[in-house]
Amino acid sequence: MALRCVSSQWTITVSPDSFVHQYDVDIVFGRPETINDENGRGVKKLSKSNNAISKSICRQIVQGLPELNGIIYVYNDRAILLTNKPLKDDIKVTISQSNLDESLRKILISRESVLKIAITKTKTIKLSDFPIDAASTLKEDRTWRTLIEMIISEDAVTRVNDKYIPIDGAICENKFTNFCCGLIYRNGVKKGVEVIELDNRPQLALTMDYCCKFLYPGGIIFLDLIKRFMSENGTYKDAEAFFKNIKLCPTYDRSRILIFYKFTEKSMRFLKTQNGGTLEEYYRSWNIRLRYLDEPAAITNGYGDFPLELLEVLANQSVSIGKMPGGSISRKRSRP
């Protein structure tokens, strides 16, 4: 219904004696000797990462915890877990990479590493007992608003049918429409819990505003996306500006997140490693055959140059309208 409206608002009623138990979630993957090091090399702080792959990993890990069987919980795919009743104990688990589910082993590939999970209780909150002395109190303290936003969103983003996707504070339809420049867009709603005055008392209310998110298509090979873009907009220079800061992952290590900066001046055919060998030879030593040697490589925040054909675009990355080439919006059209 909200998708057919520009804006909608509903008051929220909390049942008396409604409690929520809040837990801090810390999920880390790394070598045992460095996993507790704040700046340990190769340590992946999964629950502190704000990208689609890390969030998906965290959700899968939490869903697989036997300690949560029989517990109704809400999870933000990062560091906050809410339950309807307290856990018997805090959860502290360390799992070797070889003992992870097969799907996780394909993403968390370091065989020498372990997965460390810590779920620690932080507070118990009586949701029906929020401040009523002044609306400003609730506006300054986001505790109730944040918790209720999570509770309201959980079903929409986890149910099997008509599932929605959380993107930058909005929830969007799973289906998408192709757009120009190789982009896609999803319809959705920007939601939030606000404080309104009702009967001279502060009252929590759910607000939902229609929105449309322009996105880079997730799961596509970066080189393929660049070619789509260049078929309409010309040069690698244009593509470099358009895709700057896009998040990528190597196809051979999807837990490694890279941020694209620019293209190399030389093509892959002429790029070399520090040892003097060609980049093509380096990848061949790992049984990876490069096919597009006349294309440039990507320069990222990671060490080394990366072949465009071995980089995958992370899902659900928004693109600002201002970043699009001039006239792109007015030329909106669907691809076959």
CATH of the domain spanning 222-314: 2.170.260.10
The beta-strand segments (E) located in the chain are 7-11, 19-30, 44-45, 73-75, 80-83, 91-96, 114-126, 164-167, 170-173, 177-178, 184-198, 201-216, 247-250, 258-267, 296-300, 305-307, 311-313, 317-318
Q: Is the pTM of this model over 0.95?
A: no
How would you write the pLDDT of the chain (336 residues) with one tens digit per residue? 444 556 688 888 888 888 999 999 999 999 999 998 877 788 999 999 988 899 999 999 999 999 999 899 999 999 999 999 999 999 999 999 999 999 999 999 999 999 999 999 999 998 878 765 545 555 556 777 888 899 999 999 999 899 999 998 899 999 999 998 899 999 999 988 888 877 777 788 899 999 999 999 999 999 999 999 998 867 899 999 999 999 999 999 988 999 999 999 999 999 999 888 999 999 999 999 999 999 999 999 878 899 999 999 999 999 977 776 554 443 443 333
